[in-house]
Structure 1
Amino acid sequence: MSYFTAVLTSDGDGWHSVDLDVEDAVDVEELADEVRAAIDDSGETPGPVLVVLEREDEWFALVRVDGEEPRAFVSDLPAASSSHYGELLSVTADSPAPQPAPQEDEEEDSAARVAAPTWAGDADLLADLGLAGGELADTAESRDPAGALVAVGEKIGFVDLLEALR
């Protein structure tokens, strides 16, 4: 299985890619520093800045680095934790997905627990771009990682660039 990575920035006229190899970043703060340095070197005045990470058929992650503190979301924290990017994405464990409340099974009249979501992190990191946290979480849980990223890209406008980079 392979990894796909991209650094995307929007300037109001659309999304653009930034040429940067993110593979050696040890943690999310180092990644944010590398992305900010690459954008400063390119001379672009960025709007939103996203790092897109995907492990084929397993998980995807988004790291937003245009604010003071980097924010991250990962579609499957247990799977991502055992990957090359596990340490980098461990910051999402600080904001795990909310645990579902127990549901009563009407037929058996006993309490059953709904499967806990596997996503973690800041589901609202794209809310200002038109993708609410609940929608991002639902997309992460309901689709394969590549399909989920396409859905996210369609919603916030980077799907054509994403497909071109793949």
Structure 2
Amino acid sequence: MYFAALLARTEDGWKASDTELDDVETLSDLADLAREASPDEDTVLVLIEQEDAWFGVVRVDGEDDPRIYVSDAAAAARSAYGELLLTDELLGREPGSDGADLDALDLDGTEDGESESDDEDEDDEDGSAADAVPHSPVGDSEILDDLGISQKELRILDAEDALGTIAEALGASEVLETVR
């Protein structure tokens, strides 16, 4: 099960809204959606989680490029929404390089929260696509430093309660719960 919300920082504090990602096809689309949530070009956080598997934070500050953090790249790679966040740049790959195509990964149902089988190491024919995505956090781990969540604190968050912990540290837990 997925949950996605936008948290926009305003003069009056944080404003939350749930968001539908079905029409979002690229990271650029996601950034545009975030920018629409804050006409004053304030900070907007897109919080995405797949229950007990991974979470992601996309930070958009005005017209700056989005900053991204994903708690578990391999788990996110098996998810349609996670795939939006896992750019070649984020994964440290050359754009269009062999093995860089996340479409080659088998979306085997684990994107819906099902547990993986013991055949986790089973790859596609050339064996490169699944190995190219690390089973670790990727992205800008300092994404929330200036908002009170250090790199160390972010990296140790458990996917099960990460968004609640982030919202609590921002002073936005009540507004986030209203859209959950």
Q: Normalized against structure 1, the TM-score is what? A: 0.73
SS state at 1:39 partner: coil
Aligned equivalents of 1:27, 1:158: Cα separation in 2? 27
Gaps of 5+ in 1: 96-115
Contact 2:70 2:139 in 1 (8 A): yes
Aligned equivalents of 2:82, 2:165: Cα separation in 1? 24
One-letter code of the match for 1:82? R
Aligned equivalents of 1:5, 1:23: Cα separation in 2? 11
Contact 2:4 2:19 in 1 (8 A): no
Aligned equivalents of 2:13, 2:163: Cα separation in 1? 17
In the other structure, the counterpart of 1:5 is 4
One-letter code of the match for 1:4? F
Does residue 155 of the first structure (1) align with residue 165 of the second (2)? no
Please show how residues 36-51 of structure 1 align to structure 2 within 5 Å: 36-40=35-39, 45-51=40-46
Question: CA 1:38–1:160 in structure 2 vs 1: closer, same or farther (change >3 Å)?
Answer: closer
Which of the numbers 50, 53, 65 marks the counterpart of 1:69?
Answer: 65
Cα deviation code 1:6-47 (max 9, x no counterpart): 11101132110246423322221221022223433xxxx353
Question: What count of residue pairs does the alignment treat as equivalent?
Answer: 137
| Structure that is richer in helix per residue | 1
One-letter code of the match for 1:78? A
Contact 1:11 1:46 in 2 (8 A): no
Cα deviation code 1:84-136 (max 9, x no counterpart): 113311123239xxxxxxxxxxxxxxxxxxxx861111111111111111211
Cα deviation code 1:121-161 (max 9, x no counterpart): 1111111111111211122xxx2x24122111111112112
Question: CA 1:19–1:54 in structure 2 vs 1: closer, same or farther (change >3 Å)?
Answer: closer
Aligned equivalents of 2:36, 2:178: Cα separation in 1? 24
Does residue 127 of the first structure (1) align with residue 141 of the second (2)? no
Contact 2:148 2:170 in 1 (8 A): yes
In the other structure, the counterpart of 1:110 is none
Structure number with greater CO (CA < 8 Å, separation at least 6) is 2
In the other structure, the counterpart of 1:28 is 27
Aligned equivalents of 1:25, 1:93: Cα separation in 2? 20
